[in-house]
Structure 1
């Protein structure tokens, strides 16, 4: 991240780590992927290499090969030449024994305002591995406000699509 980098478009940077702030639409999708540390490690590598974004077809570019705090990336939603470009920056990287992933926040030009976490979790009590996508957001542009409930449905659809890119062993 350079000195000239644009500021995040929301003040609650890092809030996906704990309690989501009021005034935003919130969601969380958590799905079992299978069992074992090997699966946990493979899913973590996938997530940290922007595999969720690449696998769902929205990845456009990133400053680094893997998620690092400060990495700027762009996702794009659309068909052919018609699309919405959404700039983001990695807020933090999770690197815990039983949780790995990263969160990115919105930058100016993104149609939404908020933050999204992409993670994998390992439950040592039963060896289960879970994929997780959580977010808080609100419209940042006139067309996102106009889209209202349809935008929320699209966000949830993408969260499911993101999780579908993760490796499984079920």
Structure 2
């Protein structure tokens, strides 16, 4: 099944990239500090644990994010959103992935989830996306739909912070 947008993979190098005709999203949340926090956050992100801890349904063709893995995200059992992983990163100070929308998703675009550890040891989660409505109900939601995306991205950060609690190096 082909992606429903171009340019596929645009979030890989530029988390703030937003092609014309799409709405941008960029939310950065401090998770904690230290190598242990980074490793814990990366693992929770790459294995869908963060999403599942949020109560989001994840039906994936693999236990870990990897290119070409198909993922269907479901919210409250009502909305099913088919996606495919377009890129992943597992580096010493950066880990994450992005998925792109497939036919049947209420939106059209790409969303990235990246954990990084800065030079001072601070661990951050960045949720970045570009999207536009694809279904009638997403168009009808208008600005409220974009507001929901921001709330969702902020919740990702708060849930990941809780999953990493207790990992701070003393």
Please, what TM-score do these two structures have when normalized by structure 1?
A: 0.90
Looking at structure 2, the residues matched to 168 and 152 of structure 1 have their Cα atoms a distance apart, in angstroms, of 29
- Structure 1, residues 51-107: CA drift from partner, whole Å, max 9, x if none? 2221111123100000010000111112x5xx1100010000012221101000100
Q: Which residue of 2 aligns with 1:3?
A: none
RMSD: 1.3
Looking at structure 2, the residues matched to 46 and 57 of structure 1 have their Cα atoms a distance apart, in angstroms, of 14
Q: Does 1:36 pair with 2:38?
A: no
Q: Which residue of 1 aligns with 2:143?
A: 149
Query: How many residue pairs are counted as aligned between the two chains?
Result: 161
Residues 26, 127 of structure 2: 8 Å contact kept:
yes
Q: Which segments of structure 1 move beyond 3 Å, counting only runs of 4 or more?
A: none
Residues 51, 165 of structure 1: 8 Å contact kept:
no
Looking at structure 2, the residues matched to 87 and 139 of structure 1 have their Cα atoms a distance apart, in angstroms, of 14
**What is the SS of the residue equivalent to 1:158?**
helix
Cα distance, 1:29–1:168 mapped onto 2, change above 3 Å = farther
Q: Which residue of 2 aligns with 1:120?
A: 115
Looking at structure 1, the residues matched to 80 and 126 of structure 2 have their Cα atoms a distance apart, in angstroms, of 24
Please, what TM-score do these two structures have when normalized by structure 2?
A: 0.90
Residues 27, 126 of structure 2: 8 Å contact kept:
yes
**What is the SS of the residue equivalent to 2:55?**
coil
Residues 29, 124 of structure 2: 8 Å contact kept:
yes
**What is the SS of the residue equivalent to 2:11?**
helix
Residues 24, 128 of structure 2: 8 Å contact kept:
yes
Cα distance, 1:70–1:24 mapped onto 2, change above 3 Å = same
Residue 131 of structure 1 and its aligned partner are, at CA, apart by 1.1
Residue 22 of structure 1 and its aligned partner are, at CA, apart by 1.9
**What is the SS of the residue equivalent to 1:52?**
helix
Looking at structure 2, the residues matched to 132 and 51 of structure 1 have their Cα atoms a distance apart, in angstroms, of 16
Q: Which runs of 5+ in 1 are unaligned?
A: 1-5
